[in-house]
Amino acid sequence: MENGQKTLNELFDGKKIFCIPSYQRAFAWEEKQLTDFIEDIKNQAPGKDYFMGTILFQKNGSEGFFDKIDIVDGQQRITTLIIFMNCIIESFKKNNYDIDYIEMLEETYIKYRSEYKLRVLDDDNEFFRSYILSSNKVTDDLIKTPSQQKLLNAKKFFTKRLQLLKPDKIKEYIDKVNKTKILTYSVLDKAEATLIFETTNDRGKSLTNLEKTKSFLMYKLYFASEDPESHLSDIQSRFSEMYRDYEEIENEIDEDTILQHHFIAFEDWKVKKSEKDYQKYVQIVKNKVNDLINEEKDPHKTLLYIDKYSRELRESFSLFNQLFKFQNEYLHGIWILGRTRLFYPLLIKSLKLDHTKNKKNFISICRLIEIFSFRVYGILNRPANTGESQLYSFARDFEGNYDELFVQLKSTLDNYAPDKEFKNRLESRSFYHDVSSTDRNYFFWKYENYLRSKNNYNRMSEEVFYEEDPKKRLTIEHILPQNPDEKLIIVKDKKIIPKYTEKFIEEYLHSLGNLTIDPLSPNVKKSNNDFEIKNSKYFQKAPLMCQNELEDFLNKKTNKYDEESIDNRIKTLTDFALKEWNYQKI
């Protein structure tokens, strides 16, 4: 393919197959980029030149009568263009537009004879042909990867936008696309592609730090190696695997977060007075590589570092994939509590270095982290960055000695959440206001399952924490209502409500002993019908064991749920918490 300026019509005209190389990320454009794409076309003045950008290609042999061309940079734009033009063609077909004109467009942009003009990544290519470039109906079970969903979203987006336009306007869009200019550059090999990519990249979607790191490493290999091809192939292969791993977990974590936490866990960094290296993780790696190139006479050291860094980074993406699939109640507790940022480096490194059959050491680390999250940030409500440098240092310095790591974490818990302070906060007379709703729900969910386990009943599922409908989630309720005249939710017989004195309101109403969870979801109630529900005289018929036991706390002298009842229940719940979140016995 000749270098230089071309129109899109000239680029696609002829017998060419454009291929997305395996080392590229899958289709990633979302509504923002799709909107920019179509708005650029819409706002392009008729008769005026429009420049789309630079596309890098690499000739990759031939297949029959067709030239095979790899898209080194620009695959998101090219893929989007093909989807857009296909949506136009499908729109014209539905409206019985000129068949010769439709066939001309189809042969130019979609398929020439039996050969499609674009091949996306292998995992998505059959889906792309069968459901994006064809009008076959798509059902949810056919979508196997996040990129397939994004391809389908793009098709739906353009289809919807085109439905608002008259055929003459769509024809105007086609003319604009045909005349849109791009600058094409055909590279000879991976080394030249790397050199140009680093200096001319202008994608529609901003580069992530991961992509910048990939580009930088390949660029430096070009200078550090006399024969960079084999090294570049290794880097491309590793990043290809990273992209595949990340696709499976992109709804759980951002790729740059993985990059940073890999740096914290596996790279050498320091904390200075005014700055922390792990906040400049991309620049620190770049400085390391540049220093090796500038200071070392032997380029072998640079190659070794880049090889080690990229290999271990690839392993960390795999570790994160494993982490989000790992089935363990304590790890799931960490996800529920939601304070994961400070713990990721420890989690991935302890998972990686645990060679026991059932990962028992890793599970113990998960247990300690769950306790740390709940006690330090939840009940004691410490600032979100409490212990940050310590936790990150533990991860950086950890080399497989789990006993030492257990001691370090327990010592940190002694410092930030000792039993005395933990107990005092649980007994606080303003517990309801001091502790977040997530932590309150988590506390009673754990207590409910503790009661169930004692009676050999099935556990309450953690799915109640991920219910999107707020009307169906578990909610914290006051046993004795905040206003004695309001509608009763837990109490059935008003006779058990004591007189609300000023002291009662200040010291008992919002304390732990006057709180419980209540399920609003019918599904929760159905799933809990695996044990006998007490037919209480005084409380609403309860589908939860932590409500069924409330009658046991009635003051036997007054037959009311009063100050004594609440004090006794605080003690019961506090004793449970000190056992449930006891880190010393781990």
Q: How many residues does the chain have?
A: 586
Chunked in runs of 10, what are the mean pLDDT values of the chain (586 residues)? 84 90 88 93 79 85 89 91 95 85 92 91 93 92 92 96 90 90 78 56 67 87 76 87 94 96 96 84 92 78 93 97 96 96 98 96 98 98 95 97 98 97 97 96 96 91 82 85 82 91 95 88 47 78 87 94 97 98 94
SS3 511: coil
Q: With CA atoms as reference, report the closest residue to 109 among 86, 136, 80.
A: 86
Contact (CB, 8 A) for 320 and 255? no
pTM above 0.75, yes or no: yes
- The C-alpha atoms of residue 467 and residue 205 are separated, in whole angstroms, by 32
| Chain centroid to CA 309 | 23
Contact (CB, 8 A) for 513 and 570? yes
Cα distance from N-terminal residue to C-terminal residue, the chain: 65
Helix ranges (H only) for 106-189 are: 122-127, 146-163, 167-179
Torsion of CA 530, 532, 535, 538, to 10 degrees: -80
Q: What is the arrangement of strands in the sheet containing 16-19, beginning at the earlier edge strand?
A: 4-7, 181-187, 51-63, 66-73, 16-19, 118-119
Q: How many other CB atoms sit within 10 Å of the CB of residue 89?
A: 20
Where do the structural domains in the chain lie, given as residue ranges? Answer: 4-188, 207-325, 328-416, 425-580
- The pLDDT assigned to 202 comes to 45
- The C-alpha atoms of residue 228 and residue 191 are separated, in whole angstroms, by 6
- The C-alpha atoms of residue 233 and residue 228 are separated, in whole angstroms, by 9
Q: How many other CB atoms sit within 10 Å of the CB of residue 315?
A: 18
Write the burial class of residue 279 (CB in 10 Å: 0-12 exposed, 13-18 middle, 19+ buried): exposed
- The pLDDT assigned to 526 comes to 39
Name the token pair of 504. 């009662």
Amino acid in position 244: R
Using left for φ > 0, alpha for ψ between -120 and 50, and beta otherwise, residue 95 falls in: alpha
